[in-house]
Structure 1
Amino acid sequence: MGQNMLSGPIPLTVWNLRNLVVLKLSMNRLSRQIPSTVGNLVQLNQLDLDGNELSGNIPANIGQCKRLAMLNMSVNRLDGSIPIELFGISSLSLGLDLSNNHLTGPIPQEVGNLINLGLLNISNNKLSGGLPYELGQCVQLLSLQIPQSLSALKVMQQIDLSENNLTGQVSQFFGNFSSLNYINISYNKFDGPVPTGGIFGNSTAVFLQGNTGLCETAAAIFGLPICPATSATKRKINAPLLLIITALITIASVIFVVVTIMKGPRTQPPEDFKETMKRVSYGDILKATNWFSLVNRISLSHTASVYIGRFESETDLVAIKVFHLSKQGSRTSFSTECEVLKNTRHRNLVQAITLCSTIDFEGDEFKAIAYEFMANGSLDMWIHPRVHGGSPRRLLSLGQRIRIAADVASALDYMHNHLTPPLIHCDLKPGNVLLDYDMTSRIGDFGSAQFLSSGIGGPAGLVGVGGTIGYIAPEYGMGCKISTDYDVYSFGVLLLEMLTAIRPTDALCGDALSLHKYVNLAFPDRIAEVLDPHMPSEEDQMAASERMQKYVIPLVGIGLMCTMESPNDRPGMHDVCARIVAIKEAVAL
C-alpha cells in the first residue's frame, strides 16, 4: 500500500495479522506512534514504514519479530533511543534503515549481534556517545552508516557516518579494510589526522567536509591543513603506511568469479574466459537469493527476475538475474546477454561475475547470470525518485548528470565504433543505466541487443520485440533495418530526460507529441523553464547565466540533435561522446 495518500494512524487491526510476511506502507502520510503490538507480527520478513510522519519511540516489542530480514523506518519523526531489543533480531540480513529521524543517545552494545547484516543505516540523526566495541562482531556488514570502533569489519564495502554528532579521531583501521570502496564521515565533529593508506589514497572515494578539526599528515590530497609534526605522529604513520603500500602493490588483479558450462555454441564461454571462473550450482543461487524470496527481488520483467544476494564464502553483494524460461523470448535474451558478455570489456558496461546454465531440483532447465551489484541503483531512481519510494535522498547535480552522460556516451561509442561487428543495445533508457558506489554509470540489460552481423546475438536486420515506447527511433516503426542510429536516438531521449526529469511518455509531452518537440519549443531562450526544478547547484557554481550558456544549452542541443526524426540528421556516437567529454572537462576546470 505504498506511495498513496493514506493518513492518520496505522489501524490497530493491522498488527493482528499474525501470518503476514511482507508489509509495505512506504511514502504515505501515516502519523502518530508505532504501537507495541507490532510485536504480534511474528512471521514478518519485511516491514517498510519509511517516508511517513510517524513519531514517538521505536517500540521495544519490535524485537519479537524474529524473522525480519529487512526493516525500514527511515524518513519519519521517530525520536528517543534505539531499543536494544531491535539488535536481538539476528535474522536481519538485507537491511536495517533508521536514517533521517530524530534518534538520540548511544548505539547499543547489542549491535554486535547482527552478524548477518548487509546494510545498516542510522545516518542523519542526533546519535552521540562512544562506539560499542561489540560492533566489531558484525563481520558480514557490507554497508555501514553509524559511528564506532569498526576494526573487526574486514569485509566492509561502504561506510557513511555523515550528519550525526560524532567526535574524536578517525581510526587508522579504516585504511586497512581491503574491501572498502566508499567512506563518508562528513558533517560531524571529527578532529585530528586523517588516516593514510588504503582507501584514503583515493580522494574521490572519501568525503570529509564539515569536520573543521581534521588535518593531514602526508600529501594534502584532501586540501586539509597539515597536522603539526610531532614524534608521536611520525611513529604512528610510518609502519602502517609501509604495510599498506606493500599490500596495495601486491594486489595485481581481481579474479572474475564463476560459471557453470552452458549448453549450445552461443552460450559457451571461450576457454580462456572459463579458466578464470568458479562454478556455482542451482543450490548456490537458491541460497544466495534466500530461496528466490520476494524480499530479495529488486526488479521483475517479462523475461527475468533480478534478486539481490550474496554467495556463501563471498563478501560482495551480487545482482542475480534469473530467466523465466517458460516465457517467450527469455532463452534468446539469455543467449544474447552471454554473447555480449563474452565479446565486450568496458568500464561503463555492467560485467557478469557468475553465469549458470543447469537444471533445478525438479529437473527443469535453469539459467541465470549474476552481475556486480550497483550500490546506487538505476538512473531512473535518481531522475524520478518519487516513483521509487522517494529514494535516494540526494538529487543529481548538473555536474553529476554531465558525468553520467559522458559515461553512457563513452560506452555507446565503444559498442558502435570499437567492436567488430558493432553492437546495438536496442533498449537504452534510464532504467538500464546503473550507478556504482561512486556514481560511475554502467549500461546493463543486453537482452534485446543485436550485433550488426548474422551469427552473433539475434538475427541481423529488423528490430524485434526489444525496445521501450518513447525511446524507440521513429523509423523502426516503419520496418527499417537496425543500425547505430537506433541507440543514438535513445541516448538523445535519455539525455533530455536526465536534464528535464520528464519521461518521453509523460502527459506533459502530450500536446507536443514528443519530448524532443516539447524541449525544442523552449530552446534556447526559455530552456530554464523545462529543466528539472529540483536539480541542485554545484557547491562552487559560477553565475547561473554563464553556467546555462556554457554547459546546459550545449547539452540540450546535443539531445535535440540525437532525437532528430530523420536518422540522417543525427550525429554518430563518436562525435556525441567527444562533445560531452569536452563539456565534462570544462566543468572540472
Structure 2
Amino acid sequence: MGCGCFWSCFYIHVVVCLLFFPSATYAIAGNDTDRLALLEFKDKIDADPFGVMSSWNSSIHFCKWYGVTCSRRHQRVTELDLNSLKLVGTIPPHIGNLSFLKVLDLKNNSFRQHIPPEVGRLRRLHTLYLYNNSLSGEIPSNISRCSDLIILSLINNNLSGEIPAELGLLSKLEFLSVSKNSLSGSIPPSLGNLSSLATLSAGLNNFVGNVPESFGRLKNLTFLGLLMNQLSGIIPSSIFNLSSITLLDIASNQFEGNLPTDLFISLPKLETLNIAVNQFDGPIPYSVSNASNLRDLQLQGNKLTGKVPSLERLNVLVFFIDNNLLGNAEFDDLGFLCSLTNASILWQLDISRNKFGGEIPECFGNLSSNLEMLSLHQNQISGKIPAGIGNLVNLASIEAYKNKLSGIIPQSIGNLQNLVRLILDENKFSGPIPSSLGNLTNLNRLHSADNNLQGTIPSSLANCKYLQLLDFSINNLTGTLPPQVIGLSSLSIYVGFAQNNLSGSLPREVENLKNLGILDVSDNMLSGEIPSSLGSCTSLEYLYMQGNQFQGPIPLSLSSLRGLQVLDLSYNNLSGQIPEFLAGFNLTINLNLSFNNFEGRLPTDGVFKNASITSVMGNSRLCGGIPEFQLPACKLKRSDKRRPKLIAATIAGSIGAILVVLSFIFLLRLRKKSHKLSSSYSENSLLKLPNVSYRDLHKATDGFSSANLIGTGSFGSVYKGILDEGGPVIAIKVLNLQHHGAAKSFMAECEALRNIRHRNLVKIVTACSGVDYQGNDFKALVYEYMDNGNLEEWLHPPVSADGNYEESKNLNLLQRVNIAIDVASAIEYLHHHCGNPIVHCDLKPSNVLLDDEMTAHIGDFGLAKFLLENIQNNSTNQFSSIGLRGTIGYAPPEYGLGSEVSTYGDVYSYGVLLLEMFTGKRPTDNIFKEGWNLHKFAESALPNRVDEIVDPILFQGESHSENPRSGRDNRTTMECLISMVGIGIACSAELPANRMDISDAAKKLCLIRDKLTAPDG
C-alpha cells in the first residue's frame, strides 16, 4: 500500500474517532456513575441476613448484580429491586444519580432515617415502593419533580409531618399510599388535583380536620382508605358521588351525621364499606337493598337506630351491625333476616349488642349454607330457635346468650357437624337437652346454663370427644350423671351441673378428668360416697360438691389433689374425721366443710390456721382447732377437782356453738341462688410459703453471678439457679429495695400469688425475706423456671453482631394463636374465676413466660390490684399494695386520665399484646406518634390489607407468590389472621365500654385455633 493511501486511511480513521469519541466518552462516564451509585448504596447496608450484597463485587458487571436490571442498549440501571430481604441500613443520596431508574423497590426491609430528597432527581421514575421499613422524617416535597410517577407507596414507616401539598402536581399518579405512619395535620386539598388517582390510602395516621371537598373531583378513584385517624365532621356529599369507588374505609375516626339515603345508589360499584367505630347516627339507608356488588358491610360501633331495611339484593360475605342502637324491641325487628337469604356467600353475621326484639323468623334456616359465624347475643330476642337452623351446615359458632329465647333447643342443631361453639346461656329454654347434640363431634364448648331445661342428660354427649367445656348449671335436670359424659377425658376447662335436681352417685368414671380445672356438681341430690377415683383429677383447682347428700368419709385418695384452691363439701352428710392431709393443701381461696357430721379433733396446721378462708361450723362433734373456730376443747382425763371447770367450759362452748349455728342459719336465708365462685380476702394476709435464706439463694446463683442473670424488670433482677444439687432449675426475682415501691411490689406480688392458681399463671416455689451478708434488707421470690424465656424474645429476636436475626426464635401462626389463648385464659381466670377479681396492670410480652412445651404463663404481679366487688350496687373498691404504673404503650389511655383501675385495662393491654404478636410491631415503635398507635395501625388494614401489616415471617413457607390469599390453605390462613387482628382491635378500643370481654375473646381465639387445625384447613 502506498504512503498516500496510508495517510488517507489514517485521516479518515481519525475523523471517525473525533466524530464518535465524545459520545463514547459520555456513555462510559454515565455507566460508571451508576456503578458508583450502587456501591454507595451497598456501603450503607449494615445488615444483610441473606448475603445478597455479596454478589455486588468487581468480578461481574454491575448489571448482573442481584436486584439490578439495566437497559440493553446503554447498560444503564432501570430497576433496583431489593424487596423482602431483611436489609438494614440507610438510603444514600447517591440514589439520585441513577438517572435512568424507573423502578425502585425496597419494600419489606429495615431501612431507617429519612428519604433522601435526591429521589426527586429521578425524572424517569414511575414506581417507588418503600413500604414496610423504618424510614423517618418528612416526605420530601421534591418527589413532585418525578413527573412520571405512577405508584408511590410509603406504607408502614415512621414518617412524620404533613403530606406535602406539592404531591398534587403528580398528574400521572394512580396509586398513593401513606398509611401506617405518624403523619399529622390536615389532608391537603391539592390531592384533589390527581385526576388519574385510583387508590388513596392514608389510614393509621394522625390526620385531623375534615375530608377535603376537592376529593369529589377524583373521578377515577376506586379505593379510599382513611381509617384510624382523628378526622371528624361530615363526609362531603361529593365523595358519595364518586361512582367508581369499590372500597370506602373510614372506620375508627370521629365522623358524624346521617348516611345519605341514596348512598348505595350513588356508589353502584361499592364492594367494601367500613364505617365502624364512628359517631354516625340515624337509620341504615334503604338504598342498601340495591347494593348488589357489596361484599363487606361493616357498620358496627356507631349510633345507628331504627329498623334494618330489606337486604334482598345484598350478597355480602361479612355483615356486621353489632354495637349500635338498632331495633325497637318489637316483634318484627328481625324481618330483615329473610331478605338476607339471597346472600349466597354470607360467611359472618353479627347483630349482637343492639335492641332487637321479636322472634327469629322461620326463613332463618334459608340463610347461606356458607355461614360459619352467627352472633345474636345481648339483645331482647324471644321465641324459639327455628328448626331450619339445621340447614346451616357450615356453622362453626353460634352465640345467642343473654336473650329471651324460649321453647326447646331444636333437634336439628345436631345436623351442624362443623359446630365448635354453642353458647345459649341466660335464656328461657325448656324441654329436654336434645340427644342429637351427640352428633356434634367437633364441639369444643357447650354452654346452656341459666335456662329451664328438664329431663335427663343424654349419654350421646359422650360422642363429643373434643369437648373442653360443658355447662348445664342452673336448670331443672333430673336423673343421674351419665358415666360416659362425666368421664369424657377431653373436658379440661369446666364441667358445670350445679343447681339442678340430679340424683344417684358421682360415677367413678370421673377419674378420666385428669386435665379438668373446675368441677361443679353443687346443689343437687347426689348421694353415696365420694368416689376414690376423684383423686385422679390432679389438675383440679376448683371442686364444688356442696348442697348434696354425699356420705361417708373424705377418701384418702383426695390427698393427690394438691392444686386445689377451692374445696367446698358443705351441706352434705359426710362423716368421720377431717383428714390431716387437707392441712397440707395450699387452698388459697376457700375450704368449706360446714354442716356435715365430721367428728374428732380439728387439725391446727396449714389452711386450718386461717379461719378467714376455712369454715367448719355445723359439725357438732368436732373439737379443738384454733380459737377462731369456737369449737369445744377435746375431752381429756381430768381429776375430780377440775370437773366443775370442765363442765362450765363445755357449757360455754356449747352455747357459743349454738350461737354460731344460729347466726349462720340467718345468713343462709340471705343466700342468693346465683352460682358464684366463692372467695375470702384479708388485706393483711400474705403468702404462706416455706422461707429460704439469703445464703441458700446466694449459693444457688453462684453469688448472683452475671452469668446467671436472665433479665431485669421494674423493681429488680431475675437470676437462674438451682437450690439443691440435682434439683430443678428455678428463677429467682431479687428485689432492688433502693427502687421506690419495690418493697410494696413484693407485698403485692405475694398477695396476688397467695390468692391465685392457674395452669397459665407462673407458679411460685418459695420466698425469701431477710438480710444479705452486708446486713441490708433482702427480699426475693422464687418461681418455676421457664425454659423458653419470655414472649418478647420470640417476637423481637436480637440481632447478632454480624447483623443476622436469631432464626430459631421464629413463632409460626399456630404457636402464636396457642399463646394468645393461654394468655386470654389466664386473664379470664383473674377477672372472673378467682373470687375477688384481680387486675394484673402490667400485661406485656416480657411478662409472658414460655415453658418447654411453649405453653404461656403470665408472671410479674408486682402491680396487681384486687377489686372488691359489691354485686348489689355495682360499686367497686380497689385494694393494692402499690400505686399504678404499668408500661407505656400497653397501659390503657383512661389510666393516664386518672380513671380507676378496672378489668377493662387488662383487656386493653391484652389487645395491644395480641396486635404486637401478629404484626411484629411494638406499641412504642417510632411510627406510633401524635395519636397514631398500634390499634389504628391494625384497624386500617382490615379486612383487605391484613397481609400488608402482619409479621412477614407468618407467610414463610406459604405458596402464595404474589398473592398470599391464593389457594385453600392460604385462604384459611388469611381468614384466621383477619380474625386475630380483629380481636386485637376489639380488645384495644379507646373507650373501655367498647372493648370485647376477655371471655368472648378467648372463645373466638379457640374457634380460630380449631379452624387452623381442622383436617381440611
TM-score (norm: length of structure 2): 0.31
- Equivalent pair of 1:282/1:359 in contact (CA under 8 Å): yes
Matches within 5 A, 1:328-343: 328-343=740-755
1: distance between equivalents of 2:886 and 2:943?
A: 30
Shift in Å, 1:450: 0.5
- Equivalent pair of 2:744/2:882 in contact (CA under 8 Å): no
Deviations 1:314-356 (A, max 9, x none): 4211110011112211011100111111110100000111211
Q: Which residue of 2 aligns with 1:382?
A: 794
Q: Secondary structure at the match of 1:393?
A: helix
Q: Which residue of 2 aligns with 1:113?
A: none
Deviations 1:201-253 (A, max 9, x none): xxxxxxxxxxxxxxxxxxxxxxxxxxxxxxxxxxxxxxxxxxxxxxxx9x968
Counterpart check, 1:556 vs 2:985: no
Counterpart check, 1:421 vs 2:858: no
Q: Which residue of 1 aligns with 2:941?
A: 522
2: distance between equivalents of 1:317 and 1:574?
A: 34
- Equivalent pair of 1:461/1:481 in contact (CA under 8 Å): no
Q: Which residue of 2 aligns with 1:569?
A: 994
Q: Against the structure 1 CA distance between its residues 297 and 388, is the aligned structure 2 distance closer, same or farther, given a 3 Å change threshold?
A: farther
Shift in Å, 1:523: 1.2
Q: Against the structure 1 CA distance between its residues 385 and 580, is the aligned structure 2 distance closer, same or farther, given a 3 Å change threshold?
A: same
User: Which letter maps to 1:564?
Assistant: A
Q: Secondary structure at the match of 1:382?
A: helix
Q: Secondary structure at the match of 2:737?
A: coil
Shift in Å, 1:387: 5.8
Counterpart check, 1:509 vs 2:928: yes
Counterpart check, 1:367 vs 2:785: no
Deviations 1:22-60 (A, max 9, x none): xxxxxxx9xxxxxxxxxxxxxxxxxxxxxxxxxxxxxxx
Identity of aligned residues (%): 42
User: Which letter maps to 1:477?
Assistant: G
Q: Which residue of 2 aligns with 1:588?
A: 1013
Q: Secondary structure at the match of 2:789?
A: coil
Taking only aligned residues, the RMSD between alpha carbons, in angstroms, comes to 3.6
Number of equivalences: 333
Q: Which residue of 1 aligns with 2:704?
A: 292
Q: Which residue of 2 aligns with 1:76?
A: none
Q: Secondary structure at the match of 2:954?
A: coil
- Equivalent pair of 2:910/2:987 in contact (CA under 8 Å): yes
Q: Secondary structure at the match of 1:369?
A: strand
Q: Against the structure 1 CA distance between its residues 552 and 460, is the aligned structure 2 distance closer, same or farther, given a 3 Å change threshold?
A: same
Q: Aligned match of 1:348 in 756, 760, 765?
A: 760
Shift in Å, 1:434: 0.6
Counterpart check, 1:543 vs 2:955: no
Shift in Å, 1:508: 2.8
- Equivalent pair of 1:267/1:335 in contact (CA under 8 Å): no
Shift in Å, 1:285: 0.2
1: distance between equivalents of 2:683 and 2:836?
A: 18
2: distance between equivalents of 1:402 and 1:298?
A: 26
Q: Aligned match of 1:481 in 900, 904, 911?
A: 900
Structure having greater relative contact order (Cα 8 Å, sep ≥ 6): 1
Counterpart check, 1:410 vs 2:825: yes
- Equivalent pair of 1:396/1:536 in contact (CA under 8 Å): no
Q: Secondary structure at the match of 1:307?
A: strand
Q: Aligned match of 1:431 in 840, 843, 846?
A: 846
Q: Which residue of 2 aligns with 1:269?
A: 687
Q: Against the structure 1 CA distance between its residues 265 and 280, is the aligned structure 2 distance closer, same or farther, given a 3 Å change threshold?
A: farther
Q: Which residue of 2 aligns with 1:138?
A: none
Q: Which residue of 1 aligns with 2:1004?
A: 579
Q: Against the structure 1 CA distance between its residues 485 and 543, is the aligned structure 2 distance closer, same or farther, given a 3 Å change threshold?
A: same
- Equivalent pair of 2:748/2:881 in contact (CA under 8 Å): no
1: distance between equivalents of 2:936 and 2:687?
A: 45
Matches within 5 A, 1:208-287: 266=684, 268-270=686-688, 274=689, 277=690, 279-287=691-699
Pick the structure with greater CA Rg.
2
2: distance between equivalents of 1:393 and 1:449?
A: 33
Q: Against the structure 1 CA distance between its residues 443 and 540, is the aligned structure 2 distance closer, same or farther, given a 3 Å change threshold?
A: farther
Shift in Å, 1:266: 4.3
- Equivalent pair of 2:733/2:781 in contact (CA under 8 Å): yes
Matches within 5 A, 1:12-411: 266=684, 268-270=686-688, 274=689, 277=690, 279-386=691-798, 390-391=805-806, 393-411=808-826
User: Which letter maps to 1:518?
Assistant: F
- Equivalent pair of 2:744/2:881 in contact (CA under 8 Å): no
2: distance between equivalents of 1:5 and 1:538?
A: 26
Q: Aligned match of 2:862 in 422, 429, 447?
A: 447
Counterpart check, 1:496 vs 2:915: yes
2: distance between equivalents of 1:291 and 1:337?
A: 24
1: distance between equivalents of 2:980 and 2:1009?
A: 10
2: distance between equivalents of 1:472 and 1:551?
A: 27
- Equivalent pair of 1:397/1:538 in contact (CA under 8 Å): no
- Equivalent pair of 2:973/2:1012 in contact (CA under 8 Å): no
Shift in Å, 1:509: 3.0
TM-score (norm: length of structure 1): 0.52
Q: Against the structure 1 CA distance between its residues 423 and 388, is the aligned structure 2 distance closer, same or farther, given a 3 Å change threshold?
A: farther
Deviations 1:172-208 (A, max 9, x none): xxxxxxxxxxxxxxxxxxxxxxxxxxxxxxxxxxxxx
Q: Against the structure 1 CA distance between its residues 471 and 463, is the aligned structure 2 distance closer, same or farther, given a 3 Å change threshold?
A: farther
2: distance between equivalents of 1:481 and 1:330?
A: 22
- Equivalent pair of 1:461/1:482 in contact (CA under 8 Å): no
Q: Which residue of 1 aligns with 2:504?
A: none
- Equivalent pair of 1:323/1:334 in contact (CA under 8 Å): yes
2: distance between equivalents of 1:360 and 1:475?
A: 41
2: distance between equivalents of 1:506 and 1:424?
A: 26
- Equivalent pair of 2:891/2:909 in contact (CA under 8 Å): yes
Q: Secondary structure at the match of 2:787?
A: coil
User: Which letter maps to 2:687?
Assistant: P
- Equivalent pair of 1:381/1:391 in contact (CA under 8 Å): no
2: distance between equivalents of 1:462 and 1:315?
A: 33
Q: Which residue of 2 aligns with 1:24?
A: none
Q: Which runs of 5+ in 1 are unaligned?
A: 8-28, 30-248
Q: Secondary structure at the match of 2:808?
A: coil
- Equivalent pair of 1:319/1:370 in contact (CA under 8 Å): yes
* Structure 1 stretch displaced more, 534-543 or 320-329: 534-543
Q: Against the structure 1 CA distance between its residues 422 and 429, is the aligned structure 2 distance closer, same or farther, given a 3 Å change threshold?
A: same
1: distance between equivalents of 2:714 and 2:992?
A: 30
- Equivalent pair of 2:562/2:585 in contact (CA under 8 Å): no
- Equivalent pair of 1:348/1:407 in contact (CA under 8 Å): yes
- Equivalent pair of 1:288/1:309 in contact (CA under 8 Å): yes
2: distance between equivalents of 1:442 and 1:574?
A: 18
Shift in Å, 1:518: 1.1
Q: Against the structure 1 CA distance between its residues 482 and 493, is the aligned structure 2 distance closer, same or farther, given a 3 Å change threshold?
A: same
2: distance between equivalents of 1:288 and 1:462?
A: 29
Q: Which residue of 1 aligns with 2:290?
A: none
Deviations 1:452-496 (A, max 9, x none): 139xxx953899342111011111111111110000000000000
Q: Against the structure 1 CA distance between its residues 521 and 420, is the aligned structure 2 distance closer, same or farther, given a 3 Å change threshold?
A: same
Q: Which residue of 2 aligns with 1:51?
A: none
